[in-house]
């Protein structure tokens, strides 16, 4: 498993001319999804919104922009994972429309995996 994400995959999130968060984005392959074909997938990791911007809907806006990027680039699926015990984060993904795929032990972590088909 890759221990860190490359600088090239880091996207800074800006809202109303202010940097509010960041996310790592990659395409087609991810260590947490080795058991399925992921060609055409956009993966995101470590989506973070700064504490000063909590409860403003910016997480939902960020997911919408990530989905729009996937559409723009012709991706067929948006995928992510998180620690299985992060109930609030898992609910956030599910409320946005992500489908829960499974929860399993990977690389010493309790991982919950989610995906969303990108429709055009």
Report the alpha-carbon distance of residue 100 to residue 34 in Å, rounded. 17
pLDDT tens digit string along 31-58?
999 999 999 999 999 999 998 898 889 9
Residue 40: count of CB within 10 angstroms of its CB: 14
pLDDT tens digit string along 17-28?
999 999 999 999
Residues 6+ apart with CB under 8 A from 16: none
What average pLDDT is seen over the chain? 93
**Helix (H) or strand (E) run with residue 113 in it:** strand 109-117
Amino acid 1: pLDDT? 47
pLDDT > 70 in the chain, percent: 97
- Could you tell me the pLDDT band of residue 59, with boundaries at 50, 70 and 90? very high
Q: What is the pTM of this model?
A: 0.91
Kindly tell me if the per-residue pLDDT of 118 is higher than 60: yes
């Amino acid at each position: 498993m890759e221990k860190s994400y490359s600088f090239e995959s880091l996207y800074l999130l800006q809202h109303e001319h202010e940097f509010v968060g960041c996310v790592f984005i990659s395409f087609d392959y991810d260590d947490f999804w080795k058991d399925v074909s992921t060609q055409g997938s956009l993966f995101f990791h470590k989506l973070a919104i700064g504490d000063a911007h909590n409860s403003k809907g910016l997480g939902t806006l960020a997911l919408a922009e990530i989905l729009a990027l996937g559409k723009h680039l012709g991706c067929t699926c948006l995928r992510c994972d998180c620690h299985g015990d992060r109930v609030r984060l898992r609910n956030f993904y599910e409320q946005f429309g992500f489908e829960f795929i499974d929860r399993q032990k990977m690389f010493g972590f309790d991982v919950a995996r989610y995906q969303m088909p990108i429709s055009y």
